[in-house]
Structure 1
Amino acid sequence: MHRFKMMKKLRFQIALYYLTASAITLLLMGFILYGSISSVFLKEALSTTEMAVDKSGSYLELYIDRLKAISSLLAENPSLIRCFTSKTEDIDLVKDVLKTIDTTIASDPFIKSVILVSKDGRILSNESDLNMSMSNDMMKEQWYVSAIHSGSMPVLTSARMQKFSMDKENWVISISREIAGSNGENVGVLLIDIEYKVIEDYLSDLDLGEAGFGFIINDKSEVVYHEDPSYFEDAEKQQKLQSIVASKMGYDSDANTLTHTYHLKNADWTLVGVASQDGLSIIKRQLLETFLLVGFLLLVVAAFSVVWFAGRITAPIQKLEKAMQEIENGLSEITVDEKGCYEAQSLAKHFNDMMQKIMKLMQEISEKEKYLRSSEISALHSQINPHFLYNTLDTIVWMAEFNNSEKVIEITKALARFFRLSLSGGNELTTVANELDHVRQYLFIQKERYGENLSYDIDCEEEISALQIPKILLQPIVENALYHGIRGLSRPGHIEVLAKSENEKLLLLVKDNGTGFDLNKLDITASEKTIKLGGVGIKNVDQRIKLYYGESYGIYIDSTVGSGTTVTLQLPIQLNDTNHMN
């Protein structure tokens, strides 16, 4: 008892030491992890924001390139140039240009309107009701001159109320460019209005957090896009956006935001993304979860360390206890390492000596049991077939007396093959095919005795014909069917022998259309019903199967009075297995 108390105190001191050391380690590693992982997550957040803004910006660039290509195709359309340079109006040219406008609008669902204005004030558009500042000399109109000064490249303007349409509540992005003649002279101006929704769609995947936002300004610091329309009219809010663009990009610790810009190469636009504080909150939560996980792992390591140190003292006894438990679950050859203190070494040595003696005795018992089983099987073999030989010889003598030499030869050959298969070269096992051939020879001989009163069929699944089984299993069953089922019938008898596999088991079935019997009237259990029905022969087969494969295999009978009997031999599927003993 005193040593046990001392041991408990020692284990407590060891546990206290290791837990204290683990707590100190946890604090040190916590500070290190917090600093390093904070930096990693901050860089990751910056990288994520940059990728999101760059991705949305590149999508807008691709769309702008597409719009530029569309405007170039329209402005350089030969029919349009001929229409605007002609002094008189050509109806066919006008129809051709209007058809081109309709095709252009159909190619892009975001194109709201296409307006073509000639130098002398003629208009071609998909909209019939336009409110535009027009004159016979369009060079006097400021918006017209601005489009001309842009040269041959399209000019992207900021978001505005649509000036040229009657529907003034639609926000649009307008693209304008000059229409030049064959000599480069101005003949008109092209205006394409794009729905404002197109920018919202392209920036919909810009994930900047719950309070984050993105906006677009041009090189004149004018707002092109913001999800809040008030930024287009409020000068103070516009100044706030301009200060964001002018500030240093990256992480702003004062505002607790992440900012990144993307300059569109094919326009005078700058896309700005401002990530909100909720992204930083995610980083802090991830850091906290990481810290807790590391702390938990350290405590687990500390606990395992305590168990390991305490286990070094009791390990030899625990190993011996485990060995005894394994012996209780199933006797097997086990040795224990002779380590630890002197008492533990001595105990392990005596245990190993005892196990060696037990295993030696078990081996001797096993060898004796195998010898006894082999002797039982040999004795059972000797009980098979002697009466059949006498009956067959009587049949041969009877046919010889009637000078039926041909039948005598056939029966003699069948009898010779029957006994050759019975002997099977001294082997205890044979194939399913040979066993069926053995029964075939037997039934051939018996049919010579029964004549038209007996018919038979033998069938086997091809894939199981080479399986190994104990020999002379089916002949006693078939003999039982003849003598107890078919003999004495007023109608012709029929026997069917079938070999098949089912649920990873080999089934050998013998069916007859004999008299049958009522199993329920027999005062025996289901497993014993086959033993008393055919005398020594069928009982012999059941015992041999159980000796080979164990009590879970054997013979099962299903019989109906007046309809016949089915005897099923259930065996395991074994391929070329010579170690057949259970």
Structure 2
Amino acid sequence: MGKIKRKQKESISLSLLLIVLISLQAVILLGICTVFFVSIYSDSLYEAVTMNSEQAVSQAATTIENYSDGIKENLQLVSNKVEECQNWEETRDFFEMMTSMRSEVVAIMLYDREGNILSYGSKGEVLKENIRSNLSFDGGLFAQNDYCVIAPHVQNLFVNRYPWVVTVAQKVKTDLYEGEVYLAMDIKFSSIAAYVDNVGIGQQGYCYVIDSNGDIIYHPQQQLIYAGLKEEDLGMVGSLEDGVHKSGGIIYSIQTLNDGNWRVIGVSYTSELIQSKINDVYRLIGMNAVICLIAAALIMMLIARMVSKPVKDLVGAMKEFEQDAENYRYKSVDGIYEIHTLSSSFEHMVIIIQELMEKVKQEEITLRKTELKALQAQINPHFLYNTLDSIQWMCEQGEMDKAVKMVSALAKLFRISISKGRELISIEDELNHARNYLIIQSFRYKDQFTYRFEVDESILQYRCNKITLQPIIENAIYHGIDRMVDEGEIVISAGQDEEDIIFRVSDNGVGIPEEKVENILKHDIDGKSGIGIKNVNDRIKIYFGDKYGLHVDSEQDEGTTITIRLPKITENEGKDKVW
């Protein structure tokens, strides 16, 4: 016992040695990095963000002002011509010519004081007989101003046409009417919106436009704001003067347009600029790291003499445990106090890990089921709202047959979606689900696209995950067909390849940029769908393994084909097997 006590007194505490040495190095390294970082980068961070934000907002404001000046010139040109016209037919012909020549001009209207339409032109569009609420006319605003602008709104004057427009108006004189006459032009807002969308202030920054009252005119994330998923502190921003203001980690750059009606707001984040300068910090840290490594190497040479053998044994044991953790058996090694304690702790850890591994096996099935339920428990209220809105509109228009077909398709769509709680349904039901979805969308996107099915009838009784095709078709419509000028086409094919089922959804839409194709299954691009492309791919892989899933082929301006590979599962297999 005396020898043991003497050895314990002579032994050096490894924990104390490591704590002192590592703490000393950490304090020195942290002190050097902090001094250099604070002195070099703190001032330049705010300056860089300010400059970048001001430039982007200034460019956006200039573009909007130039666009506004062009609109004013066009409005004055039309006003001068109206004063020269000898009859209403001549004004109508001129309005039609102007809307045909100017792609950004949706319609030109001539109103009396009460908002009655005296003359109009809109690329040959048919005026509604009964206009319930004309959002492009504001008599009070028109009467108080020689020139005024109505904020972006949906134009609802013409049959089957509801474009997003900005209305500009001014008073005009004409010998054809005794009272006050207002000339109004409905202008596409898409060109301004597209430019604002593309204004970049770093990777996360953006621009938006508000009016003098602090209300949003346009925001690139407008739908998220209206849905309550994103908030802007409009009260605070509206109270700020033009210039640059900092609030927390956000930089607001504000500029009012010359006419004083609109303000351009730039939002940027100071954290983004850290990365652009962090490389300098890395070099400093690297130099200190080299010094620390040299010092650590010298220290470890001293320590190695005391702990080399038991540590090597312990490392070897750890490698063996890594190779066969489930069946490994370990016995602690002797050595200095710290090594013996570490070895005993490792022995205890091996036992605990092996028990946990067995427990994890049992919990994995439950976890996978939970993941599947989470992936499926997404609902698309936006699609349901638009569908019901379309049905209501059809009923109001007296198109009862179409409304009945659309209600029937919607009922079948949700019946198959529910499918009595089953995840796997027949391919025939899945194809019917897709057909019902396309029936609904064909009513909503009238004359925008056609579709057809190419189906191998011999595979209809095999099983597949429910709601597999509909998200892919939805993506083809929203991101492919909806952006086209010409009529689109969607082709859905279902066939077999040896032991697998193959679905393909092809469209002739605008395609997906090459740089985005690789990431489409990693990050969902769908902003409207409740269950997107990535979700479908994840569900298939969780159910059937990495061999199965989605593959995307796309070429810009040519179209996109998404291939879905599934195993052949019969009805009995779908019931008996727990996937």
**Fold match (TM-score > 0.5):** no
Q: So what's the TM-score if we normalise by structure 2? A: 0.37
Q: So what's the TM-score if we normalise by structure 1? A: 0.37
